[in-house]
Amino acid sequence: MPQYTAPINDMQFVLHDWLNLSQHYQSLGLEDFDQELVNEILTQGAKFASEVIAPLNREGDEQGAKLIDGAVTTPDGFADAYQEYVANGWNAMLGSPDYDGQDLPNTMAVPVHEMLDSANLSWRLTGMLNESAILAITKHANDELKKTYLAKLISGEWTGTMCLTEPHAGTDLSLLSTKAVPNDDGSYNITGNKIFISSGDHDWTDNILHLVLARLPDAPAGVKGISLFLAPKFLPKEDGSLGPRNTVTVGSIEKKMGLKASPTCVMNFDGAQGFLVGEANNGLACMFTMMNDARFQVGLQGLGVVEASYQGALEYARERLQSRAPQGIQEQNKKADPIIHQPDVRRMLLTQKAIAEGCRALALLYAQQMDIERFGEDTDKHQAKNVISFLTPIVKGFMTDMATEMSNLGVQVYGGHGFIREWGMEQLVRDARITQLYEGTNGIQALDLISRKLARDKNNMLADTFALFSSKIAPMTNAQAKAQATELLAEWLETATTLKQQNTVDLAGCAYDFMHYSAYCLLGVIWLSMADTAEKSKVASIKSGKKNTCDFYIKRLLPRKELFKTNLFNGADDLVEFTDSEFDYQ
C-alpha cells in the first residue's frame, strides 16, 4: 500500500502565494498568526498524519469495528492514536478560548484535516463529527450546557455525534418520530431509534454526547415541530465526573461497503435523559449549523481521497514496467518503460492532479471565507456567509463525486493490481463511496444549490460569490489568461441568472447539471488565477507545474461544462412524463 505524504508544498503555495494569508490575517486583526506558524502547523500535522494515522489505515479496514457485549471496539491502534492527537492539542484547534480552545483560523486547521482524510478516512470521521457538534453547542446551547460539556468536547476528552436518520425518515425529516417528553427538572426523556450514526459508540473516550432530533408532545407537524437535544452516554455529576449510564444503547453496527474501521451504529434511546439545545421546535435550524459544517468536512474527505489515490497511482506508474512508450524508448537500461510514459496513463494522472489541486484551492478559499465570517467586520461577515452558503453544496457534491471518479482512475492505473486488496487502491473506492451519500446525497446538494441558493435567493449569494471570484481575477497580470477567466466567470453568471427564471420542475430536473457546470467553471477561474500567481514563483516545479496543469485542465476538463450546460435548458419533460409502467421490461 503506498505511503501517504502530505502535499505541503502545494498547500503552502495556495495559502501564502495565492491567498496571501499574511495580509488576510492582518485584515482580520489576527497579527499573532503568521506564515511561520502556518508552516509549523503544516509540518507537524503532516508528520502526525503520515507517521501515526496512515499506517493504521489498511489494518483498520481488515479488522473493522466490532460490537461485543453491547460495547464497540475499534481496530488496534485507533484509540491510542486518538489519545496522541488529543494530547498534542489537534482536537482543540478551532475551539473557543473561553473553553480552552486554541481559536485558530480555519485556514490553519483545514489543511491538517485534509491530511487526516487522506491518511485514514475511517479514523478521521470521529473527530470530524465532534468538531461539528462543538460548533452546534457553541452557537445554540445555553450557558449551563456549555459549562458542562463544551470544554470536554473541545479538548477531546469526550466526543459528540449527530443523530438524525431513522429507519423510515432519511432526508425527509418531517417524518421523524423520536419523542421527547419533558420532566419536572427541565430535562427530557427521549425515546426512539436512530440509524447510520457515525461513531455512535467507540472505545476512544469515556463519554459520548449525542445530539438528537426529536419531537415534543405538543410539537406542530412537519419540520417545524423538531427540537434538538443533547443526550450523553453517561450523565455527568456536578463535579464533572461520570455519573450513571444513560439509557442509550447500541443495537448493532452497520455492515458497510467501506469505512469499516469506523463504527456506524444503530442507536436506541429508551427514555434516555436529554437536554434541550436552543429553542423548542427550532431544532432543525440548530442541527443545520452542525450539518453545514459537516457538509464542508465531507467535501474535504472527498479531496483527501482524490489526493491519496493520485499519490498511489503516481508511485505505481513510475515503477511499473510495461511495453515501450509510443513516443520512443524512454529508459534504455530497462527491459520496458515505466507506464508513466504512456500518454493515456498521463491523462489519468493529470486528471487526478488537476482535480486534487483545484479542489484544494477551492477548499482553502472556502476556509478563508470561514475566517472572515468568524473574525471579520459585520459587512464582510455577511458577504462571507453568503459565499459559504452558495459554495457548500458545490464543495460537498462535486468534491465527493470526484472522489469516486478519481479513486476509480487510481485503480485503473494499477490495472489488475488495483483490484487486489493488498495494494490499497480498492479501499479508497469503497471508502469514498459513502461521501456521496451522507450529510445529504449529492442529488440533495444539487437541489439545495439550484432551489434555495439560486432560485429562492434575491441574488445575494450569487452576486457575492461572483464578487469573490472576480477578486481572484483582478490582480492577474497575464492579459490573455485574465481575459479568459473574466469571460468564463461572466458566462457562469449569465447562465445562472437566466436559469433561475425557470419553473420548479425544470430546475429540479437540471439541478445536478448546474452543480457540476458551476464547479467546472469556478475551478477554471481558480486554475487560471493560480497559474498566473505561479508565474512569479521562485520554485521551478510550482512555476511550470501549475501552468502545465492549468493548460491540461482548460483543454481537457473544462469542456465537460458544455455537456452540463446543454442539459440546463432542455427542460424536464423527458424525466417527469416517463410513466411508472415504462420502467418495467414486461
Who contacts 586 (Cβ-Cβ below 8 Å, separation ≥6)?
none
CA pair distance 444, 533, nearest whole angstrom? 35
Distances 358 to 112, 354, 458, 486 between C-alpha atoms, Å:
17, 6, 29, 18
- 357 included as an active-site residue: no
Say which residues have a Cβ less than 8 Å from residue 65's Cβ, sequence separation at least 6: 72, 73, 74, 75, 202, 253, 260, 261, 262, 263
Among 238, 439, 535, 562, the one annotated catalytic: 439
User: What DSSP string runs through 470-529?
Assistant: HHHHTT---HHHHHHHHHHHHHHHHHHHHHTTS-HHHHHHTHHHHHHHHHHHHHHHHHHH
Q: Do residues 299 and 292 make contact, with C-beta atoms less than 8 angstroms apart?
A: no
C-alpha dihedral over 114, 115, 120, 122, to 10 degrees?
A: -30
Please state whether 141 falls in left (phi above 0), alpha (psi between -120 and 50) or beta. beta
Sign of the dihedral defined by the CA atoms of residues 151, 155, 158, 159, in that order: positive
Say if CB 250 and CB 264 are below 8 A apart. Answer: no
CA distance 190 to 168: 18
Q: Where would I find the beta strands (DSSP E) of 237-383? A: 242-245, 248-253, 264-277
CB atoms within 10 A of CB 524: 23
Q: Could you give phi then psi for residue 286, rounded to 5 degrees?
A: -65, -45
**Pairwise CA distance, residues 200 & 72, whole Å:** 9
Tell me the angle at which helices 343-375 and 540-552 cross, rounded to the nearest 10 degrees: 100
**Spatial distance between the Cα atoms of 396 and 519, rounded to a whole number of angstroms:** 11
Is the separation of the CB atoms in 268 and 70 below 8 Å? no
**DSSP states of 337-369 as a string?**
-BGGGSHHHHHHHHHHHHHHHHHHHHHHHHHHH
Specify the DSSP class assigned to residue 421: G
Rounded distance between C-alpha atoms, residue 251 and residue 70, angstroms: 8
What residues are annotated to the active site?
439
